[in-house]
Structure 1
Amino acid sequence: MTAGAATTATVRSMDGPFVARRCVRSGAGYRWFEQAVAPGDYLGTDQMRQLADLVATSGGAVAALPELVRPDLAAWPVMPTPSLLCDALFGAPPHAGADHWASVCEALGTFLGRTHSTPAAEAGFLPVRGHAAWLPPGSARTDRVDAARAGLAGFGDGVLASAAAPAGARPRPDSVVHGRFSSGLVVPLTRPVVQGWREAGVGDPDRDIAFFLAELVESAAVGTGGGRFPALVRAFLTGYASAGEGPGPDRLPALVADRLLEHYAQAAVRTGSADQLEQVVARVTGRWRDLVDLIEDGGW
């Protein structure tokens, strides 16, 4: 990716259809690099610098904003571990108990809630996010994702596609949003570190919440988080509500369904086929129904 990245040992790679990620040894620690492999609406250096003043101390967790080596390549600060939260959710069963991971999710909820407390008026330097930064309207790859998503509409008996259609009216105004609030961007230290931020902007805060909840749904369906799923969902939403105004519960199931379909459409574009996704979507649909029950039961 860069001379610096090439001359150190790469310890792991995580490539997606829009970005390529590498974690390299850096002195006594580890550093993540991310390169955009296709143009997107990502933040620049000046925007990142201003954003740091808004989110770095948002509570619950810590924001780690990247240095832009060049417009398509970002480098995050050195971390003491290459591990990410997604390893615990999707990989081998973690050594830590369920209470530990619930505490991590609660801290992330608190952090996200406080980030969303920053109104749009205080972040005029950020773009308005009516769509994902990596899916600019009118681009060829956005069209491919849309076509792949249409092909997934009948998977899981069409439950997700039907649910995603009516998200309902937005009860809350725009705020600062992370834009890709993913477990693959969280370093699970004593105080979790949230990376990413190139996709941040001003937008619908409930979509940030839905992004993370969708990953909890997936981790319960195809990862190692099945038994911990209710506790992790409740902890995350409890943490979020503790930071101020809670999410719009009537909208969350639809937004989570929307994110799940987008994710699997992107997977179909990357692999060139949706043939392997039908059973996965069916399993995920079952866990999405569990999420709906948890949201309707409240208790957070």
Structure 2
Amino acid sequence: MTYKEVLDNGTERLLDVGIVDAKNDAWLLLEMVCKIDRNYYYMHMQDEVLAEHIREYDLVIGKRAERVPLQYITGEQEFYGLNFRVNSSVLVPRQDTETLVEEVLKRIEPNMSILDMCTGSGCILISVLKNSIGVSGLGIDISKNAINLAKENAKINNVVAEFETSDLFENVKDKYDIIVSNPPYIKTEEIQNLMPEVAMFEPIGALDGKEDGLYFYRKIVRHSKEFLNHKGYLILEIGYDQGKSLDLMMNQADFKNVQVIKDLAGNDRVVVGQLE
């Protein structure tokens, strides 16, 4: 089979099972398996593909057709201009979360310290540290596998950061100028309605915000004041329908200057409050 035939076949298989971005996914998997780029493809599209590459491509297309996330197959995802390793221990970094990074960077200054709770792949903390000067950071997560991956991502991106296993604030000892988090915030009953790639393959512990989706916010907002320096910031990613709830929750906890910030799609995405 030629490169064109292999790509066309892969695209058709993904279209048949309803993959929205079938053409792009089929191409990225071909690129990975055959180690080629677009220029090579267009110059050699009628050339025969090695039999071993055809077999490997058939396997990865089969995985994607089963709705395994593309990023879990390729093992990587771009976020905030950086490349991150990902696997089934962590959520796939999403563009929506870049809004959270931007809000942190607006407030970060040299010599500040930042605590990233529920760090997962480490993409939030690493992106902040990569784009700031003289800032120290700790990322925590209940998952040891996630912490190991975050450490690997820090090395890949040449960022100095600390990562430790902790159930929320359990193993946190110091105070910080900024606490940031993208905690689990999907209502338990809504998880089954998510895209199959998310509901079936991404870690349930990183998604499930319990009955009303606010379980972890309550814990973080309640205890964060013990771990924030004077005039420190609490900056949280939120669901599109959680802005009013988090605004009220943070005001009731005596945070000042509470703001709900929208993402590029116009949805509530981040809430920010300051301790005084």
TM-score normalised to structure 1 length: 0.28
Structure with the greater relative contact order (CA < 8 A, sep ≥ 6): 1 or 2? 1
Larger Rg: 2
